[in-house]
């Protein structure tokens, strides 16, 4: 029995990890049709064997942990530039995926509590729960909306156009439904259930048609060429500056010097994010006089 459980642990983590390949930069979209269906079929099979809430939480958590640990590794890599942050690497590598996986554990708990009997109702409950918990993950505690299932379509701009109507999380829920459709085909016992699969495929075909029309309409809009130049400022400044008590005014003056604003040019200057330490968007207005002295009225500064 324990040997079987270890195999299930490995299975769910691997299925979750493989799902990450559907995200950028790989975008192997077709993988989701296998992984979501495998997860759904696993839950359906287990629901026939037992109704233990704890085990179902573990099933979802393992899948979620495998998913997030394989696509959030870059957070740990970003902490290697400074030895002072090295103690955070295990936290970001293990604890962040472990925390985010809790949301997937809640999905599987609620799934077995609701315990839908029919294939279609199970499919709809699974998709809806997944979509709702993904929304909560992206909203609660300031939100962590990274690596939604919908990101798998990041290369299909025509299909993504529908987000302007139904929103990101609405589209995300439909994506989960689409990717779980192969499981319905396997479990189906009537043509009515198969019709659901066809409906979702047809729906995404309509999304593509709408996106193609929208893209064509956008490309046919007459362009208005402005005289403005866009200057992106990139400075080679040591990160140590952010940990020192350096005068903010001197930092801004350095950036102005690098920008070399002309008194006559129409330009938009883009300064790097977080380039000025200890200054937020609200407090930056204190330096308005300094900016106005160096930039003309036809110039815009973006930080």
Confidence at 138, pLDDT banded by 50, 70, 90: very high
Q: Residue 302 has which token pair?
A: 């973006």
What pLDDT is recorded for position 141?
Answer: 77
State the number of CA atoms in the 13 A half-sphere of 148 facing the CB: 27
Give how far Cα 141 sits from Cα of 137, 169, 230, Å: 8, 17, 36
Whole-prediction pTM:
0.80
- The rounded mean pLDDT for the chain is 88
Confidence at 1, pLDDT banded by 50, 70, 90: low
Q: What is the pLDDT of residues 63-122, one digit of tens each?
A: 999 999 999 988 888 788 777 788 888 888 999 999 999 999 999 999 999 988 889 999
Average pLDDT of the residues in 34-61: 95
Residue 245 DSSP label? -
Q: Are 145 and 137 in contact (CB under 8 A)?
A: yes
What pLDDT is recorded for position 301?
Answer: 66
With 60 as the cut, is the pLDDT of residue 229 above it? yes
With 90 as the cut, is the pLDDT of residue 244 above it? no
What's the count of helices (H) and strands (E) in the chain, helices before strands? 12, 3
Alpha helices, DSSP H only, in 20-95? 31-49, 53-69, 73-77, 89-90
Q: How far apart are CA 64 and CA 15, in angstroms?
A: 9
Q: Is 54 exposed, middle or buried (0-12, 13-18, 19+ CB in 10 A)?
A: exposed
What pLDDT is recorded for position 84?
Answer: 79
What pLDDT is recorded for position 248?
Answer: 79
What pLDDT is recorded for position 62?
Answer: 98
With 60 as the cut, is the pLDDT of residue 19 above it? yes
Q: How far apart are CA 102 and CA 17, in angstroms?
A: 16
């Amino acid at each position: 029995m324990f040997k079987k459980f270890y195999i299930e642990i490995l299975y769910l983590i691997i299925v979750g990890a493989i799902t990450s390949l559907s995200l950028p930069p790989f975008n192997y979209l077709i993988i989701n049709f296998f992984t979501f269906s495998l997860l759904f079929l696993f839950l359906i099979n287990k629901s026939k064997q037992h109704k233990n809430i704890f085990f179902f939480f573990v099933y979802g958590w393992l899948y979620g942990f495998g998913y997030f640990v394989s696509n959030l590794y870059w957070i740990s890599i970003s902490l290697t530039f400074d030895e002072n942050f090295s103690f955070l690497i295990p936290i970001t590598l293990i604890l962040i995926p472990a925390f985010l996986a809790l949301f997937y554990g809640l999905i599987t708990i609620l799934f077995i509590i609701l315990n839908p009997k029919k294939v279609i109702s199970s499919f709809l409950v699974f998709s809806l729960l997944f979509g709702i918990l993904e929304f909560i993950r992206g909203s609660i505690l300031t939100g962590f909306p990274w690596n939604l299932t919908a990101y798998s379509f990041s290369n299909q701009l025509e299909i993504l156009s529908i987000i302007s109507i139904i929103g990101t999380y609405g589209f995300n829920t439909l994506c989960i439904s689409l990717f779980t459709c192969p499981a319905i085909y396997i479990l189906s016992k009537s043509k009515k259930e198969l019709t659901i699969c066809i409906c979702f495929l047809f729906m995404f075909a309509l999304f593509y048609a709408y996106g193609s029309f929208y893209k064509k309409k956008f490309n046919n809009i007459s362009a208005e060429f402005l005289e403005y130049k866009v200057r992106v400022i990139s400075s080679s400044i040591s990160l140590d500056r952010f940990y020192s008590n350096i005068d903010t005014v001197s930092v801004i003056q350095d950036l102005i010097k690098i920008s070399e604003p002309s008194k006559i040019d129409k330009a938009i200057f883009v300064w790097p994010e977080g380039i000025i330490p200890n200054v937020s968007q609200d407090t930056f207005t204190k330096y308005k006089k300094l900016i106005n002295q160096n930039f003309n009225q036809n110039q815009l500064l973006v930080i």
